[in-house]
Amino acid sequence: MSPSSKQALFISSLIILWYSSNIGVLLLNKFLLSNYGFGFPIFLTMCHMSACAVLSYISIVFLKVVPFQKIKSRSQLLRIATLSVVFCGSVVGGNISLRYLPVSFNQAVGATTPFFTAMFAYFMTLKREAWITYAALVPVVAGVVIASGGEPSFHLFGFIMCISATSARAFKSVLQGILLSSEGEKLNSMNLMLYMSPIAVLVLLPAVFFMEPNVLNVIVTLGMNHRFMWLLLLVNSVMAYSANLSNFLVTKHTSALTLQVLGNAKGAVAVVISILIFRNPVTFVGIAGYSMTVMGVIAYGEAKRRFK
């Protein structure tokens, strides 16, 4: 096998891992939170962050996937902590929304991330894009409005949490660019996850005790009644880390634009698989709205590439 064929096979394997990890953790989250009686989105997020902390340490310190980077100042640590809190908000909001919304609609709303990213970038950094780039965002938002009107399982609180999670995710990406823009204090994605994850666990721990006080009793009961409970939770947490790791590796070996294009396709695949598994009702209006959003995101990515 030629070197180019080996490289292509390696990248294809990474993409498959990224797809399966992202879609798998999304579907397992939905199953646990909505269909299994495990109604604890904050605790589930804490499990994800705990797995990310432990596995990031193993990957960087022992397996040396990337070089270990030290924190160089107290101000850098404060910036990482700020990012961690915002990241927690986005993940918790997304998990809460899955209790009330089908995965298909959750993905439709999540596809509006570029819209919020562009808005936050404009207001926080005064960075302007070409007018055609902003024009491409119109169908992104319009598609979600149409999909909302045609969603049989629409839930207002779930929708608010999903929008909040999406905007927090966009805010985090812009904030990351601002807070860690110094060349001397830049961290790659894996080292950033290594430091963010333990901070996230410390933030989420008191939230679990105050907002989900009976979580331990319910988990023990579920564990006794369902023998695969702990295995599901473990697999779900490991897949959450795998999604982050494969995201970093795919970006490293391809490009950010390729990741965005693959992400659009991933969302569509996740929608189809979730409908087949959970049998949630869909309408032509909802499908048309989601399709418009995806096309808008593709147009936005192409506009950004052409009008840099």
In one-letter notation, the amino acid at residue 250 is V
pLDDT score of 279: 81
Mean pLDDT of 198-216: 93
- pTM score, whole prediction: 0.86
For residue range 215-260, list pLDDT tens digits in order: 988 888 888 888 788 899 999 999 999 988 887 787 777 765 566 6
N-terminal to C-terminal alpha carbon distance within the chain: 38
Mean pLDDT of 22-31: 91
pLDDT score of 49: 95
Given a cut of 90, is residue 208 above it in pLDDT?
A: yes
Give exposure, 224-263, as e/b (b: 16+ Cβ within 10 Å): eeeeebeebbeebbbbbbbbbbbbbbbbeeeeeeebbebb
pLDDT score of 158: 94
Report percent pLDDT > 70 for the chain. 94
Given a cut of 90, is residue 164 above it in pLDDT?
A: yes
Measured in whole angstroms, how far is the alpha carbon of residue 308 from the centre of its chain? Answer: 26
pLDDT score of 258: 63
pLDDT score of 308: 62
Q: Of the candidates 38, 89, 61, 16, which has an alpha carbon nearest to the alpha carbon of residue 215?
A: 38
pLDDT score of 260: 62
Coil, helix or strand at residue 162 = helix
Given a cut of 70, is residue 264 above it in pLDDT?
A: no
- Give 185's DSSP letter: G
For residue range 61-119, list pLDDT tens digits in order: 999 988 999 988 888 899 899 999 999 999 999 999 999 999 889 988 988 888 888 88
* Per-domain residue ranges of the chain: 3-306
For residue range 114-155, list pLDDT tens digits in order: 888 888 888 888 777 778 888 888 888 888 888 888 788 899
- Are the C-beta atoms of residues 88 and 165 closer than 8 Å to each other? no
Measured between alpha carbons, how far is 147 from 301 in angstroms, rounded to an integer? Answer: 21
Instruction: Render 228-271 in DSSP notation, one character per residue.
Output: THHHHHHHHHHHHHHHHHHHHHHHHHS-HHHHHHHHHHHHHHHH
- Are the C-beta atoms of residues 235 and 70 closer than 8 Å to each other? no
Measured between alpha carbons, how far is 87 from 25 in angstroms, rounded to an integer? Answer: 17
Report percent pLDDT > 90 for the chain. 33
